[in-house]
Amino acid sequence: MAYNRPDPMTRGLFIAFEGIDGCGKSTQVARVAERLLREKIPHRVTREPGGTRIGEQIRTVIMAPNHVEMCDACELLLYLASRAQHVREVIMPALDRGEIVLCDRFQEATIAYQCHGRDIARDTVDRLNDYATGGLSPDLTLLFDLPVDASRARLAKTGKQPDRLEGGGAAFFERVRAGYLSLAAEFPGRIRVLDARESIDTLAEKTSRLIMEIRNPVPPAAGRNPKS
């Protein structure tokens, strides 16, 4: 069943934050949320996999480092099972209430990690994702691009044990990064690329500006063709 978004004048905004592990997207989610809170703008912070009680349990299964026997098809279907619950329990209701939803990963992560990283056919992933989401896509996806060597250096500095996905080799993450960049080229109006090597403050300023631009679009000048 397709999701029919409410009237554009009253519906919320769905913003996804993407990038390879260590890119700093979660930090930027928190920074945007802080600004929205200060400005008393209704919003919801969530993540994938997870975001619901069921989804968080699925996340534990997916990320567990000892689940080395997990096949690619199982991994994909677990991600989409979590997403199906997430969309219907959290994201759709928040958008219907007019909130801004800040989501740490969504559909682009599945294409980057499972299609490009795991080599699962794109048409298979697109078809299953469309079923899981009811056709819902982010209004804006912010891609924090980071070279793989920088990503691995950042992860090493955390000192924590890598989860099952973070433990992938450099070649895997090169494919994932390439997948993200190819999506940005495919959907340039919706996916905006930011250099994750910039400072946290600089990225926070750019991220907030992009979100506010889509929230409060500037109307075309009088007498000007808006399609020009």
CATH code of the domain in which 46 resides = 3.40.50.300
Element spanning 107, H or E: helix 107-110
In a domain, 221, yes or no: no
In a domain, 43, yes or no: yes
In a domain, 2, yes or no: no
pTM for this one?
Answer: 0.89
In a domain, 127, yes or no: yes
Question: How many independent structural domains does the chain possess?
Answer: 1
Q: What six digits make up the tokens of 66?
A: 């000892």
Alpha-carbon separation of residue 217 from 9, 38, 214, 224 (angstroms): 12, 21, 5, 16
Q: Which amino acid is present at 115?
A: C
For every one of its 228 residues, what pLDDT tens digit does the chain have, with 9 covering 90 and above? 455 554 545 679 999 999 999 999 999 999 999 999 999 999 999 999 999 999 999 999 999 989 999 999 999 999 999 999 999 999 999 999 999 999 999 999 999 999 999 999 999 999 999 999 999 999 999 999 999 999 989 988 887 777 777 667 889 999 999 999 999 999 999 999 999 999 999 999 999 999 989 987 655 554 444 343
In a domain, 7, yes or no: no
Nearest to 50 by CA among 83, 24, 98, 91: 83
In a domain, 8, yes or no: no
Nearest to 49 by CA among 111, 4, 8, 110: 110
Question: Could you tell me how many helices (H) and strands (E) the chain has, helices first?
Answer: 9, 5
Range of the domain at 17: 13-215
In a domain, 3, yes or no: no
